[in-house]
């Protein structure tokens, strides 16, 4: 079961596609963060979803929300994927311990070894301000991002 709105998100530190370590509590000190969990880099639905986010980064900037992806892929895979697709936002590797952060957020699919598609907007004190997720194999509706950002405005 994923984290509910109003609960406190667990703090974590993960490396992004450039090998830079990012810590949630430090990120939210600068403003809200949209954590976008996804199953696997280079897969069709995930690529389409993140390309749509890439093409709409201004929407997050206008809301003063930092966009951050999270998957169980390695830093090296995420770096290659980000370079291929032109992602200019951070994508964090939840590779080892495998899926640990995804598990803490309640979005790890044990039998598949991946995170499901879940999005959490995290605010001050790591409070979950908005969240939504889809079943495996289903893309998130882009309108859900607009609704989540509008809800925190």
**Which residues are identified as catalytic?**
46
C-alpha distances out from residue 56 to 41, 63, 73, 132, Å: 19, 12, 23, 18
Handedness of CA 43, 97, 2, 51 (dihedral sign): negative
Of residues 63, 64, 34, the one with CA closest to residue 49: 34
| Tokens matching residue 111 | 């039998």
Q: Which residue has the tokens 């830093």?
A: 75
CB-based contacts of 4, cutoff 8 Å, min separation 6: 128, 131
CA–CA separation, 27 vs 86, rounded Å? Answer: 22
């Amino acid at each position: 079961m994923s984290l509910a709105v109003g609960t406190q998100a667990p703090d974590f530190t993960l490396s992004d596609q450039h090998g830079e370590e990012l810590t949630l509590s430090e990120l939210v000190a600068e403003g809200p963060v949209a954590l976008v969990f996804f199953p696997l880099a280079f897969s069709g639905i995930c690529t389409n979803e993140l390309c749509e986010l890439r093409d709409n980064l201004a929407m997050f900037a206008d809301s003063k929300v930092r966009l951050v992806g999270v998957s169980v892929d390695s830093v090296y895979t995420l770096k290659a994927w980000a370079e291929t697709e032109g992602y200019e936002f951070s994508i964090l590797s939840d590779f080892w311990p495998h899926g640990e952060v995804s598990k803490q957020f309640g979005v790890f699919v044990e039998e598949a070894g991946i995170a499901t598609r879940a999005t959490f907007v995290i605010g001050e004190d790591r409070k979950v301000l908005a969240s939504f997720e889809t079943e495996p194999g289903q893309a998130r509706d882009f309108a859900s991002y607009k609704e989540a950002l509008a809800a925190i405005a």
